[in-house]
Amino acid sequence: MRTDRLKLNSSQTRIFPGLFDSLAPISEFVTHAAKVVGLDAKAVYAVQMAVDEAVTNIIEHAYGGEGRGTIECTCHLAGDGLTVTLRDHGRPFDPVSVPTPDLDADLESRRVGGLGLYFIRQLMDEVRFDFLPGSGNVLTMVKLREAGP
């Protein structure tokens, strides 16, 4: 994978097969970008976790399983942080249809699933979902670099 061209104020896109085996190379791609942009270790980990969860959801929910489409991952490196955009051509996703999890409920009464979107929103500074007919689902996640002392 060519990640040597990543530099500030640039973007790079890679297309990966919609397979769980793609999780590691996608993580390597976004991790390198996060480090180039100067995110600290905690922020790099947050990006890794959010992207991993999002890619897993694309494979499981948008495509309904492995090998049914591709995942386009774009990293845009800016002076203030990293923007990761994931695009798929699976089933349209409407984040409003996902209920906010009741984190105060007893474990027995909580519904199964539904925490992934919550975690992504907690881990990243900005999260946007778009669905454009012909262009697919577009998830944009931003992680800002902490200001120095």
Convert the pLDDT of each residue in 91-119 to its tens digit: 988 766 666 665 556 656 655 556 788 89
Written as one letter, the residue type at 129 is F
Structure tokens at 52: 């991993």
The model's pTM: 0.86
Domains held by the chain: number: 1
Return the residue matching tokens 């774009």. Answer: 74
* Distance of alpha carbon 65 from alpha carbon 58, whole angstroms: 9
Nearest to 75 by CA among 7, 146, 1: 7
Query: Would you say residue 129 has pLDDT above 90?
Result: yes
Residue 99 lies in a domain: yes
* Distance of alpha carbon 12 from alpha carbon 29, whole angstroms: 10
Residue 149 lies in a domain: no
Kindly report the CATH number assigned to the domain that includes residue 52: 3.30.565.10
Q: Which tens digits make up the pLDDT trace of 27-75? A: 999 999 999 999 999 999 999 999 999 999 999 999 999 999 999 999 9
Residue 59 lies in a domain: yes
Residue 126 lies in a domain: yes
Report pLDDT for 68: 96
Structure tokens at 126: 């900005």
* Distance of alpha carbon 109 from alpha carbon 149, whole angstroms: 45
> Residue 28 phi/psi, 5° resolution?
-60, -40
Written as one letter, the residue type at 62 is A
Report pLDDT for 130: 92
Domain coverage including residue 53: 10-144
Q: Which tens digits make up the pLDDT trace of 68-78? A: 999 999 999 99
Using 50, 70 and 90 to split pLDDT, how confident is the model at 1? Answer: very low
Residue 2 lies in a domain: no
Q: How many CB atoms lie within 10 A of CB 9?
A: 9
